[in-house]
Amino acid sequence: LIHDNFLFYDKLARHKKITYTLHSELEDKEELFDPNYLELIVNNLLSNAFKYTESGQSITVTLKEENNYLILQVSDTGIGIPINKQGKIFERFYQIESEHVGSGIGLSLVQRLVELHHGRIELDSEEGKGSTFSVYLPQNINTYKPSELASIDNKNEEEQVYSTNSKEMYFIDTEKVENETIESGDKKRGTILIVEDNNEIRHYLSSGLAELFNTLEAGNGEEALEKLKENEVDIIVTDVMMPVMDGIKLCRNVKQNIRTCHIPVIILSARSEIKDQMEGLQMGADDYIPKPFSLAILTTKIQNMMRTRRRMLERYSKSLEVEPEKITFNAMDEALLKRAVAIVEKNMDNIEFSTDEFAREMNMSRSNLHLKLKAITGESTIDFIRKIRFNEAAKLLKDGRYTVAEVSTMVGFNTPSYFATSFKKYFGCLPTEYIKKAKG
C-alpha cells in the first residue's frame, strides 16, 4: 500500500528534480493497520513534503518495525519548521507563514487518524535543514478493541470517506450518506454555481455535487457574476477568501441586484468566528457553513432549500391568489411582486395590455421580467397575467352581479367566446358551470 502511494508522486519528483526514495524492511511481513487511514496518512505527509521541498533536494520514505510498532517515516531536506512553530503544526488550520498555500488541515487530519490507531506521530525538524515525520502504529493486537478489528466477513463494512491532500478541509464525513436521487431531467436537478479559487477544491466540490445537480464553476466573485448573466442558477455555493472579488462582496452583489436577489447563497469558510458568520448573514447569505464540513451535509442543505422552493411553487400553482409575502424570501422580491400585481390589476380591463407593456411599466427588459417572475413564481409573464385575471374573473362570477360577457370585458378579453375557452383550460369548466358550482 505504501509502495503504491509512493509511486503516485514519482512523476512529480522527476518534474521538480527531487531525489525520491523508498526504504522498506517489511516486504513480506503482515502488519496491523487500516488501509484507508494509512493511505490518507502517507498521502498527506507526502503532499506536505513536496510542498516544502525545492528542486535539487530529497524526500525519503522509510518503513520498518521496532518494539512492536510499525514505523512510517517521511523525511525531506526542505525548508524545515522553526522550533517555536513545531508545537502548533498539528492544530487545525495552522499554517507556517510562507509563500506555499495549503489548507492548513492535512497534519491535523493525520494526527487524528494516527490516534484512531492508538498510535503517535513525532516531528523532528530544523529550520533550513528539513523535517522528518515519524508515525508509530502499534502491532500488538490487544491494543485494539474487538470492534476495531476487521473480521473476515466484515471486510466491506462502512467505508470511511475522508479526502486527501488539500481537499480534506472540506470533507469530514465518517460514513457515506445515501442521498435521494433527483430526476435526471435538467430542470428538476437544479443548477448549482460553485465559486472557489482553489482549482482542486472547486473540481472536488463540483464532481461531488454533479451526481445530483447540474454544476457551474467560477474561480472568484467577478467570474461568478459573469456566469449569472448567462445562466439560470438555483443556488450559489461560495468560498469567502478569493482574489479579485471575495465571497462577501459576491453575496452583496447578488442580493442587491433585482435580477439575482432570489438566488440562495451558501457561504463556506474556514473563518468560523461568530462575527465572520454574522458578516456573511448580514450580507443576505442564506446559510454559512464553517470548514471543514461534510459534503453530505452541504448536499442535504442544498436539497432542503430546493425542496422548500418546489413546495412553495406547488402551493402557488394550486392557489388562485398571488400573495407576494408568502412566496418571496426577501424584501426586494416582495416589493417587485407587489408592484407586478398592482400593474396587472391596474390594466385588468386593458385588452391591449401585453408583456412588452408590462415590462415597460416595471422598468425591466421583457426577458429580465420573464426570468424574474419564473424564478419567483415558477410561471412565465403571460401565465402570471392570466392568473391575476382569472382570479378576478372567478370573484366576479361568484359575485353574480355580472354576465359572463361583462366579466370577460372587465378582465381584458376581447370576446366572450375566447374568455370561455381560456377559462375552461384554466379551471376545467366553462364560466357558466363555474357559476352553478359556486351557487351550489
10-residue block means of pLDDT along the chain (440 residues)? 85 88 86 85 84 88 93 90 70 44 55 86 86 92 83 44 38 41 53 89 85 92 93 92 88 88 86 60 77 78 87 80 80 90 93 92 91 89 92 90 91 90 89 83
> How much is the pLDDT for 279?
66
> Which CATH superfamily hosts domain 320-439?
Homeodomain-like (1.10.10.60)
Q: What is the pLDDT of residue 106?
A: 58
Domain boundaries, the chain: 2-168, 186-314, 320-439
Q: Which residue has the cell 495549503?
A: 102
Tell me the C-alpha distance between 55 and 28, whole Å: 34
Q: How far out from the chain centre does Cα 68 lie?
A: 45
C-alpha span between 407 and 388 (Å, rounded): 14
**pLDDT for residue 246:** 87
Domain 2-168: assigned CATH number? 3.30.565.10
pLDDT at residue 155 in the model: 44
pLDDT value of position 158: 39
At 409 the pLDDT is: 92
- Cα 119 to the center of its chain, rounded Å: 35
**CATH number, span 186-314:** 3.40.50.2300
